[in-house]
Amino acid sequence: MVHGAEELFARAGHLFVGTTELACAANDLYTWVATQPRHVPPELHPRSMRKLYRPGVLLQPSSTQHLRTVAARGTAVRISQDDINETIILDDRAVILAGAGHGADRNYSVITQPDTIAGVRSLFEAAWRASTELAVCDAQLAELRTLAPRILELLGAGHKDETAARNLGLSLRTYRRRVADVMRALGATSRFQAGVRARELGVL
């Protein structure tokens, strides 16, 4: 167990060097940013990379563009509608699991026990098979990506649905459907939680 992403890299960064296959699951683009090995020659980068994310990353234009760029460079990127455990799998040598918290307050577990690695990989593969290609989700969420920040602002300001719908030029039924879509994309079970998750992802 290590505390904070910087400590994780300091103590486990060497595991990334020489990895041929890297699989990653994350709710956002920030969970694993400090784990990327520094100054690793291109020939030592993983030959195969797969990244699995929740739909919320596609509500933020810059995050969406980043994923498009990553995919264009050869990384397989998919989007899961289901909850995912934030995980990195390095070949079959190691697994890194992100615990609760955010940023410097987050704990990480580094696991090298073969049976546990096999179990985590099995879960990842099931989530990967059930997920959707980035391009498909990107197209599906294009309109919602435009509306989401304004919807979240209106929710945060405490406007009634009727007032918010009128401000957006939507029918009440359409507005409520869009609120539900935003909550689903953010993995939120309440409007308050949607606001929290939106701030974490940089949508607000």
User: Tens digit of pLDDT for each residue in 179-194?
Assistant: 999 999 998 999 999 9
How high is the mean pLDDT of the chain? Answer: 89
pLDDT score of 8:
85
Architecture of domain 141-201: Orthogonal Bundle (1.10)
pLDDT score of 37:
52
- So where are the chain's domains? 2-138, 141-201
- Residue 151's contacts (CB-CB under 8 Å, 6 or more residues apart) are 164, 168, 175, 178, 179, 182
Mean pLDDT computed over 106-112: 92
pLDDT range class, residue 18, cuts 50, 70, 90:
confident
What distances in angstroms separate CA 146 from CA 3, 27, 42, 58, 193, one per listed residue? 37, 20, 36, 11, 20
**Secondary structure of 37-53 as H, E, C letters:** CCCCCHHHCCCEEEEEE
pLDDT above 90 for 50: yes
- The CATH code for residues 2-138 is 3.30.870.10
User: Tens digit of pLDDT for each residue in 120-138?
Assistant: 999 999 999 999 999 999 9
